[in-house]
Amino acid sequence: MLAENLKPARGVDLAQVLPVTAVLAALGVAVLVTCALYRRGRTPVLERGVAWAERESGLPGWAAIPAMVSSLSLLTAGFGFYWDVAVHIDRGRDSSPFGTPAHWPILIGLCGLALAGVLAIALDQDTDGKAAVVLPGGLRCSLGASLVMLCGTISLLGFPLDDLWHNAFGQDVTLWSPTHIQMVGGASLTTLATWVLIEEGRRRSTDRGTGKHAMARLMRPQPIHMAGAFLIGLSTLQDEFDMGVPQFNAIYHPILLSLAASIGLVAARVRIGRGAALRAALFFVVVRTIWMVVIGYGFSLSIPHLPLYLAEAALVELVAVVVPVTQQVRFGATAGLLIGTVGVAAEWAWSQVAFPLPWGAVLWQGYLLAAVIGVAGGVLGGLIGRALLPGAATRTRTPRLAAGLAFAATLGVVAVALPIQEHSAWKAAVTTTAAGPHEATMTVTLDPADAADHAAWFNVTSWQGGDLVAGHGLRITAMRKVSDGVYRTVGAVPVDGDYKTVLRLATGTSQQAVPLYLPEDKAIPAAGVAASPHFTRSFVQDQKILQREAVGGSTIWKHAAYAILGVLALLWIASLSLGLRRLDRSAAAPSITPLRLVGAFA
């Protein structure tokens, strides 16, 4: 009980993670030794298993088995991710790296992704792949195998680095910290890398497979399943908005949604054909709904809401009637424009009934940027779908600067929306009226009086107050206008216990907040903030309150960490772009020179 009450505000002693690290290291060595023996033909049992997988799936064993491992790992890690975010929002920080069971599926899933990459490389003894990659030492593997290995390994490394980050900078409870993005981003992009691996396997196999065993479906995921998984991966960074506790600008929500829909749905339609965009969206909705029901209702935690993408999918299908899908860039740009305008409008309507923070007119900047990034994302989605097409499919000439301009537009929109402003001169005079032993209603008088007139959201957020038995640690209470500059909470809000109760006011590009009640936290250490009967407090940057545990650490090192994350992001983008280009060229060219990653060793 003492350990639970004094959850560390930073990382934990390495002794708590060494046992798990030792076990994982031992398993890793065992896997590598087994793979080395397989390459030498000294594992007859494994060789028979690979041959069986090839007969059942119709894919080469180096594609069938890793694809199954990667697909199951992605589902496991994805569920753990959404579960973990809900736990942190309801209960705050962990008592240890494994203080919540939600970390186990994340770790198991990330290990599975790295394992899939190792297996894809080790099992591939077919050297005829046109898009083959030559690794240091002369080891040759498929393009998809190298991409799965890259994304999975970087994602897995984010898990131990996360504790080092917390040791240095405190447990900033946010999805968008560098190590969190490293884990989430790597796993999300593994969906595309796995799709590449499967497509390579299809191109290098003429066998349809017997498919009699139930495992055959798992070993040969259908393109529509990969398209739906890709859409899920593209949507992960929206989760703080899905949960109702975003810590970045409100305009990011329509921007992120437009980018995910345009890339994922256009790629699905180009690669798979008629109805694919709708089926990919349905796959997304079904999987995310299952996770929502299990997490929100089965585990009694905050509900991870979700966009529908159905209107956007219908728009993609309609564009395909007018614009030939074989003209991938033109088709993608047209569909992306409609997604970023009409599709975003449909999601606006959905947000009014389904999201904890409905969109408002104040997000006009976000809507404009969503249209721009929708076009860019549509072009990228068209090129991704084109690269994944079978060898005999029609490919039109791609404008020379199409991909570069689309990437530049995407990065530009992300950069424009990034800076967060705050109005520290604003103030709130608060009158507290008891409404029970642990709750109160709040009447707030703003200075200036029009501060909330153009707000993206203006509410009282009470979070991280759930216990270990029942969740419900997040409560978002709306503010009702009484008169000019005077607002009252629609209901009572918590002012006791572990809850952190905050008055949050956001415009499209600014976020500020006033602490109404904060418990004392000796582990940070941080003094409590009482909900006195009458008080006046200034607004401060929203993140300073929400990330109360983020203390200490060098600013230089923090900026360096984000710079390293930026380098990793560019590495992912460059690797996947180069890989997709090679995959595209290998389908049309009679031969293509293998890519040598390190020429001195090849």
Tell me: do 142 and 171 sit in the same domain: yes
**What residue type is assigned to position 155 of the chain?**
S
Tell me: do 439 and 392 sit in the same domain: no
Per-residue pLDDT, averaged over 250-271, amounts to 98
Tell me: do 445 and 350 sit in the same domain: no
Tell me: do 381 and 500 sit in the same domain: no
Tell me: do 43 and 182 sit in the same domain: yes
**What residue type is assigned to position 578 of the chain?**
L
Range list of H helices, 355-478: 364-387, 402-417
Question: What is the band of 592 on the pLDDT scale with cuts at 50, 70, 90?
Answer: low
234 is a domain residue: no
Angstrom distance (rounded) from CA 147 to CA 583: 12
E-strand spans in 238-385? none
Tell me: do 410 and 435 sit in the same domain: no
The larger pLDDT score, comparing residue 168 to residue 507, is at 507
Cα-based torsion angle of the residue sequence 207, 208, 214, 218 in order, rounded to the nearest 10 degrees: 80
Tell me: do 464 and 353 sit in the same domain: no
pLDDT of residue 468: 39
433 is a domain residue: yes
pLDDT of residue 5: 52
| Residue 242 vs residues 34, 175, 257, 286, 466: alpha-carbon distances, Å | 43, 12, 11, 16, 19
Contact between residue 392 and residue 478 where contact means Cβ atoms under 8 Å apart: no
Contact between residue 121 and residue 134 where contact means Cβ atoms under 8 Å apart: no
pLDDT of residue 559: 82
Among the three residues 358, 387, 419, which one is the final residue of a domain in this structure? 419
Q: Cis ω on the peptide bond leading into residue 448 (within 30° of 0)?
A: yes
| Residue 489 vs residues 543, 545, 575: alpha-carbon distances, Å | 22, 20, 50
Dump pLDDT digits (tens) for 21-30: 888 889 999 9
278-282 contact pairs (CB < 8 A, 24+):
278/310, 278/313, 278/314, 278/317, 279/224, 279/227, 279/228, 280/224, 280/227, 280/228, 280/230, 280/231, 280/313, 281/228, 281/231, 281/308, 281/309, 281/310, 281/312, 281/313, 282/228, 282/310
User: Which range of residues forms the domain containing residue 296?
Assistant: 249-419
pLDDT of residue 138: 73
Look up residue 286 and give its two tokens: 């079904």
Contacts of 481 (CB under 8 A, 6+ apart): 487
Tell me: do 383 and 491 sit in the same domain: no
Dump pLDDT digits (tens) for 342-401: 999 999 999 999 999 999 999 999 999 999 999 999 999 999 999 999 876 777 788 888
596 is a domain residue: yes
Tell me: do 162 and 25 sit in the same domain: yes
Answer whether residue 11 shows pLDDT above 70: no
* Residue 511 backbone dihedrals phi, psi, to 5 degrees: -140, 125
Q: Cis ω on the peptide bond leading into residue 105 (within 30° of 0)?
A: no
Tell me: do 539 and 588 sit in the same domain: no
Cα-based torsion angle of the residue sequence 572, 411, 269, 382 in order, rounded to the nearest 10 degrees: -90
Angstrom distance (rounded) from CA 428 to CA 447: 6
Of the candidate ranges 190-204, 210-224, 263-277, the one whose mean pLDDT is the lowest: 210-224
Task: For strands 595-596 and 133-134, give the pairing.
Answer: parallel
Contact between residue 580 and residue 383 where contact means Cβ atoms under 8 Å apart: yes
Contact between residue 378 and residue 333 where contact means Cβ atoms under 8 Å apart: yes
Contact between residue 181 and residue 165 where contact means Cβ atoms under 8 Å apart: no
| Residue 166 vs residues 10, 172, 176, 179, 465: alpha-carbon distances, Å | 5, 7, 13, 10, 21
Q: Is the dihedral of CA 128, 133, 134, 136 positive or negative?
A: negative
Percent of the chain at pLDDT > 70 equals 93
| Residue 94 vs residues 97, 450, 589: alpha-carbon distances, Å | 7, 39, 53
594 is a domain residue: yes
Dump pLDDT digits (tens) for 283-322: 999 999 999 999 999 999 999 999 999 999 999 999 999 9
Which residue's structure tokens are 């997490």?
Answer: 295
283 is a domain residue: yes
Query: Which residues share a beta bridge with 133?
Result: 141, 595
| Residue 583 vs residues 10, 193, 204, 300: alpha-carbon distances, Å | 44, 11, 12, 45
pLDDT of residue 14: 65
Structural domains of the chain, count: 3
Which residue's structure tokens are 């995407």?
Answer: 410
Q: Which residues of 443-458 are buried (b: 16+ CB within 10 A; e: fewer)?
A: bbbbeeeebbeebbbb
Q: What is the C-alpha R_g of the chain?
A: 25
The larger pLDDT score, comparing residue 450 to residue 574, is at 450
* Residue 397 backbone dihedrals phi, psi, to 5 degrees: -65, 135
pLDDT, mean over the chain: 89
Chain centroid to Cα 536, Å, comes to 39
Dump pLDDT digits (tens) for 110-155: 999 999 999 999 998 765 666 678 777 777 888 899 999 999 999 9
Range list of H helices, 92-142: 103-122
Q: Is the dihedral of CA 108, 114, 117, 122 positive or negative?
A: negative
15 is a domain residue: yes
Contact between residue 238 and residue 307 where contact means Cβ atoms under 8 Å apart: yes
401 is a domain residue: yes
Tell me: do 142 and 173 sit in the same domain: yes
CATH code: domain of residue 453 = 2.60.40
Chain centroid to Cα 254, Å, comes to 15
242 is a domain residue: no
Count of C-beta atoms within a 10 Å radius of residue 581? 15
Tell me: do 395 and 471 sit in the same domain: no
